[in-house]
Chain A
Amino acid sequence: MSVLPHVPTDEVAGPLCAEVTRFAARSIDARAIDRAGAIPAGVLGGLAELGLFGLTLPAAHGGAGCGLLTACQVVAELARFDRSVAVTLGLHLGLGTRGLVAFGTSEQHERYLPSLAAGERLAAFATTEPQAGSDLSNLATRALEAADGSLVVNGRKVFVTNGGLAGLYTLAVATPGLGGRERGQSLVLVERGDAGLTVEAEECKLGLKGSSTTGLVLEDVRLPSSRLLGEPGWAAKGLAHILSWGRTLMSAGCVGTARAALDKVHGQVAHRRQFGKPLAALEVVREQVALLEALTFGMAALVDEVARADDEALLGRSLAAKVYSSESAWRVVDGAIQLHGGLGFIEDTGLAVMLRDVRVTRIFEGANDVLLSHLGAGELTRTKERAPLTGAVGLPLAGLATKADALAAQVEARRQELLARYKVGVFRQPRWMHQLGGACCWREAVDAAVRRAAVSARPEDVARASLLTLRASAEVSRLLEEPAPRDLVEVALSDTLPFPEVRP
């Protein structure tokens, strides 16, 4: 099982993004897409003409052969104009085609990649089921091997992004017995025209209305064994890689959404007057705007680092990028609405659609609550030490590096305390794992922001990294030192509060 190396493509990303910006400014109308509940065919055609559907697909099969970093930059840029468009492309490049590119056979590449690269066929990815959301170990959709060696798939997938548009689906299914694994899972490729596959009606959603979301019903779908993707019965490793791409691209979309919200904030505070002054002249407003900029700076820095990471680092760091970016984008858009006052609540302002669109990012690609537990568990079992920033960045940022190291030391002290106090029993302390996971997200964002400021050396970037570090220190202290009071937990979990009966 080989994973293609990430191709360094910094040199093409700049001009490409400029072209994407020109196209998006001319052709993408977020409010119209939101109202229509669909992306116009002309927009998808324009993305195809720009070659974006083949961006990360191998050049030998019609793609551009770019890496995750370039894809993130393009998705972030598209998200500035409309999140549904960004999600449609990001899903195609990440979850939709990454498994095929990384683990597909040469026959599979030849059969599918040219049309996928050209945008003639879109890709989707389906794991979630009615009874299994973030829990991939409990898949009910099964592919059983028939006597002739083919696979017969039965089951149902829900919330499939690009479901209604796609021509090719990568499905995670249980394959009991396949590859000698009694409880194995595999990835299979299902084509839109396969007999027994029904694409259900579009879901009516809170946001991302232009993005297609459907269910898939599979009734005795018979697939030749050549549709297996990767090693039979061994989906876990492939899934981890595919999901880390998906999470990183989704995080990049959050960067774009936050930038779009900030663009609106800048216009608002420069022109809107209150108490005889432009809003931008009010200290409390400046402080709020600066904080939103700092959060966004941290998102961009973290996503940029994660997208450049090797595969091993990508697996762990993409979790932190996903949680931090989705939570921060939500804060930034909410803060932007607040700074617009009543105008922020009006559809024409364009922030309402951003808020609706960004809400799901805290849920899909792994619900943040679940990912925080994984982050906490990963931190508790971590064997590699964090490299200190002090000494690693230049003198002008030495003070900032010291603060970032102090924040990391605070997280490390809590980690050591938990390990000493609970030993292996710490894994039965979900609240502590959550808190530690949350603190790790702030640490990762701060580290990335300080490194990015050190490289750019622009005073405004140093100021943003500094503000982010101050804010993160306060957040980490709150997280680690002020757990929910014991009294509150006892009341919340007591029998006196009515709660639905738990059925086994």
Chain B
Amino acid sequence: MSPDTSVERRVIHIISQLVPVKPEAIKPHHRLREDLGMDSVASMELLSMLAEELELDVGVEDVADVHTVAATVALAEAFLAKKKVA
């Protein structure tokens, strides 16, 4: 993943709407729950908001192993690539 991609910026922007953390303080290695304080519902809501914003067809089973900001970005990029191919 290249650093500071537009997808990364969008992910960080959404996270900053869900938890009281400034966007500049959110880093790719941060874990959604332990480092950013998101509970199980909030972390799922993040993925849900991202899928809606980027118009991605993401199922619940796809997000089971997404625990960090970087993994969230990777998931979004993978689905964007899939969308492009389709």
Contacts and interface: CB of A to CB of B under 8 A. Distances in A.
Interface in B51-86: 51-52, 57-60, 62-64
B13 to A, nearest CB: 16
B40 A377 contact: yes
Nearest to A233: B34
A423 B51 CA distance: 9
B4 interface: no
A182 B42 CA distance: 19
Given A183-B21, A419-B60, A236 B33 contact: yes
B39 A423 contact: no
Given A374-B39, A424-B44, A234 B34 contact: yes
Chain B's interface size range is 20 to 34
A426 B20 contact: no
B48 interface: yes
Contact of B37 (A138, A378, A419): A138
Q: In terms of DSSP, what is the predominant structure of the interface of chain A?
A: helix
Given A182-B35, A426-B48, A374 B41 contact: yes
B83 to A, nearest CB: 14
A97 to B, nearest CB: 25
Contact of A183 (B36, B42, B47, B48): B36
Contacts of B64: 381, 383
A185 interface: yes
Contacts of A400: none
List the 5 shortest-distance A-B pairs measured between CB atoms, nearest first.
A137-B37, A427-B44, A427-B48, A424-B58, A428-B48
Interface of B: 19-21, 25, 30, 33-42, 44-45, 47-49, 51-52, 57-60, 62-64
Interface of A: 135-138, 181-185, 234, 236, 373-374, 377-378, 380-381, 383, 419, 423-428, 433
23 contacts: A137-B19, A137-B37, A181-B34, A181-B35, A182-B25, A183-B36, A374-B41, A377-B41, A381-B60, A381-B64, A423-B57, A423-B60, A424-B51, A424-B62, A425-B51, A425-B52, A426-B60, A427-B44, A427-B45, A427-B47, A427-B48, A428-B45, A433-B41
